[in-house]
Amino acid sequence: MTKKICLLTMLLLVALAAGCAQDRVADQTAATASPTTVPGPDDSEIATTTDATGTKTETRTFRNNPRISRVVVTTRDGVRTVKATSRSGAERVVNTTENVLEISGDAIAESAGFVADKGEDVAGEAKDAGKEVADKAEDVGDKAKQVGEKTADVSKKAGEKTVEGARKVGDKTVEGAKKVGSAVKKVVP
């Protein structure tokens, strides 16, 4: 009978110890499992959690920023650490005095040293160069039109002068022929 009581007491102590351990885990889980999520600027979302040790973690997740995916601000014992993660997964410490939970994603990416996508820059420059070439082609087309109009005007004037010159030559030829004809009549009676 004493063996049964000892065995029963040991089982109760094990059950009590297991129950107490689960309460501590439940308390720690409750402290970290209830994040507060609010919408942030620049199409982002900010989630805030505080664990059992008092460490506050604020995570800002960007939905559509091409350079940065998230920023994590951790405050432990009054010391604030800011880490940014790029779209490619690279993580860097951000050294800025600005509140990264409020500034734009591009400003955070600049502070972290993430470089903008060169493909977008090249495409933008190519588009600008294309517009510039089109503008120059249009200018050349306008100049060609002006030269063509001027050439037509000059040609028209030259044609008019040619016709006028031909008339004068024709008139002089007729006049000369009349003189020659009258001179011939005088010589031949």
Res. 88: pLDDT tops 60 = yes
Res. 82: pLDDT tops 90 = yes
Instruction: Tell me the domain boundaries of the chain.
Output: 33-116
pLDDT value of position 164: 74
Sign of CA dihedral 125, 131, 134, 139: negative
Q: Which residues contact 114 (CB under 8 A, 6 or more apart)?
A: 67, 68, 84, 86, 90, 92
Task: Please report which confidence band the pLDDT of residue 136 belongs to, taking 50, 70 and 90 as the band edges.
Answer: confident
Q: Are 36 and 101 in contact (CB under 8 A)?
A: no
For residue 50, which amino acid is it? T
Residues 7-56: pLDDT tens digits?
Answer: 667 766 666 666 666 555 455 554 455 788 888 888 899 999 999 999 99
Residues 138-174: pLDDT tens digits?
Answer: 776 677 677 667 766 766 776 677 767 767 776 777 6
Q: What is the arithmetic mean of pLDDT over 165-189?
A: 68
- pTM equals 0.47
Q: Give the sheet arrangement for strand 68-76, strand by strand.
A: 36-40, 44-50, 56-62, 68-76, 79-86, 91-93
Res. 104: pLDDT tops 80 = yes
Q: Are 2 and 21 in contact (CB under 8 A)?
A: no
Q: State the Cα angle at 64 between 108 and 35, rounded to 5°.
A: 75
Neighbours of 152 (CB within 10 A): 10
Cα distance between residue 31 and residue 54, in whole Å: 9
